[in-house]
Amino acid sequence: MFERYSSRRRRHRLKIFLLSIAAGCIFLLILSHYQNSPLSTESSSLIGSNEQLVVRRPLEKSRPRLRPESKLQPLPTIAHLSDKKSTDFLSTFTFTNSPFLNLSSELPVIIPIIILSKASDIEVRDAIRRTWGFDRLHRNATIQYKIFFLVGIDDLFVKRIHTEQILFDDVIQVSLPDCDSYFAYKELSAMLWMKTYLPHTPYYIKTEDDVIMNINAIIKQFLPSMESYLTKNLIIGWFDREHNIDRGTYQRFINAVIPPSSADLSYAMSSFYIVTSQAWNSMLNTMKNVENIQQPGDPFVTGILRKASHVEVKNLATSTEYFRYEVRSGACKDAFLRDPSLLFCTSPLLLSPSQSISLTTTLTKVDVTPRSVTEYFDVWNTLLSQNTIR
């Protein structure tokens, strides 16, 4: 009985031994076949040669290489930039309009009054809409003067701006930080918006939300007297230095510094000016040759850029037509009571509540402090009582 048991164990061990030999032979056959395959040959060549590894990588093929004879060139001046491809500085501006805004109709022709505003100036925009900023049709309903508020990006007011766009169709949001140091970029973006959305409009009016307009005097008296200039390559505004409210330092093009001592550089008062279609197209074409703008400030758009673009001016400060405005601190109602023909009255929003400065205007020298939105309604009621609004 013991011999039978021992015989079975020997046979079992022999079977395992034979199966192991068979498995080993199969493994050697598979390994031999793999080593002779083309895939294995390519892999071994990649492992054995760093040079081939570099050549066969698709990423390395797309990497640009400098020619041995190439040399670094100096930065171009303005004269040389005209021969180069556009640097697409203007492509950094993107706009968000109201989803219901329709600018495609041929009639009436929309003449925009673009009001530079901050996203946080909610009550000011509402006061303008309810007073001088309502849409008006003229010349047998062939022309519509329509206000647009141009605001920047403020994360705290994203939803509010979107709500205003839905309700009023009059807010344009540009992809710029909503702070004073970007005011020059905002002015430039207004031109780009016009070229993009209203390219056939003959002109637009640029103003700011601290301005209270006598809209009837502007539309019925001022603009008709300027009609012969509105088709030319120029900017209409007050260009004397005494009419300017400085917000920043002088601008410069790359490699072309214009220092503050350049007395011949004049630029428009920021509260109100008109840009014709020829003028904004000329200035935007010049911007294609600009690589960088440094030190944003008021003189850039209507001063440095205008001069570089060969855009002329219609200086209302020296014009034979005597049009006036006032800079007031909470006293615009009194200003319009004294002179119903004033085009507008303004008190700058740039000042903090603790600040007070003096500005020389066309009428007198006054102190300036921040004003309340109730001033818009006081002036509006005054103009209504004078029957100047029809």
pLDDT for 227-272, tens place per residue? 999 999 999 999 977 776 655 454 544 444 444 445 567 889 889 9
Q: What is the reported pLDDT for 212?
A: 93
Sequence-ordered list of residues with C-beta below 8 angstroms from that of 77, at least 6 positions apart, any chain: 254, 255, 256
Sequence-ordered list of residues with C-beta below 8 angstroms from that of 112, at least 6 positions apart, any chain: 146, 147, 148, 194, 198, 201, 204, 205
- Residue 260 inside a domain? The answer is yes
Contacts 24+ apart (CB under 8 A), 336-341: 336/214, 336/379, 336/382, 336/383, 336/386, 337/382, 339/363, 340/214, 340/217, 340/383, 340/386, 340/388, 341/214, 341/217, 341/221
Mean pLDDT of the region 330-344: 90
Q: What is the reported pLDDT for 264?
A: 65
Of residues 389, 270, 372, 388, the one with CA closest to residue 331: 372
- Residue 306 inside a domain? The answer is yes
Helix axes 122-130, 158-168, angle to 10 degrees: 10
Q: Is 344 helix (H, G, I), strand (E, B) or coil?
A: strand
pLDDT band at 226 (very low <50, low <70, confident <90, very high): very high
Of the listed ranges 91-95, 249-253, 273-277, the least confidently predicted one is 249-253
E strand spans, the chain:
95-96, 109-116, 136-138, 143-153, 171-177, 203-208, 211-213, 234-237, 252-253, 256-257, 272-276, 312-315, 325-327, 344-346, 357-360, 365-368
- Residue 326 inside a domain? The answer is no
Q: In the structure encoding, which two tokens stand for residue 279, read together?
A: 């003028």
Q: What is the reported pLDDT for 29?
A: 72
Peptide bond preceding 108 in cis form (omega within 30 of 0): yes
What pTM, to 2 d.p., does this model score?
0.70
211 DSSP β-pair partners? 346
pLDDT band at 3 (very low <50, low <70, confident <90, very high): low
- Residue 14 inside a domain? The answer is no
Q: What is the reported pLDDT for 224?
A: 93
Buried b (16+ CB within 10 A) or exposed e, 242-265: ebbbebbebbbbbeeebeeeeeeb
- Residue 308 inside a domain? The answer is yes
Question: Domain range holding 234?
Answer: 89-320
Q: What is the reported pLDDT for 172?
A: 96
Q: What is the reported pLDDT for 322?
A: 79
Q: Are strands 109-116 and 143-153 parallel, antiparallel or unpaired?
A: parallel
- Residue 356 inside a domain? The answer is no
Based on the structure, what is the number of domains in the chain?
1
Residue with tokens 């405005």: 325
Mean pLDDT of the region 112-131: 95
Residue with tokens 């492992």: 47
The rounded distance, in Å, linking the Cα atoms of 343 and 349 is 19
- Residue 314 inside a domain? The answer is yes
pLDDT band at 19 (very low <50, low <70, confident <90, very high): confident
pLDDT band at 104 (very low <50, low <70, confident <90, very high): confident
Average pLDDT, the chain: 75
What are the two backbone dihedrals, phi and then psi, of residue 7, each rounded to the nearest 5 degrees? -65, -40
Sequence-ordered list of residues with C-beta below 8 angstroms from that of 303, at least 6 positions apart, any chain: 251, 265, 266, 267, 268
**Residue predicted with more confidence, 278 or 182:** 278
Cβ(379)–Cβ(340) below 8 Å: no
Q: What is the reported pLDDT for 240?
A: 78
- Residue 353 inside a domain? The answer is no
The rounded distance, in Å, linking the Cα atoms of 284 and 362 is 32
Query: Which CATH number goes with the domain that contains 197?
Result: 3.90.550
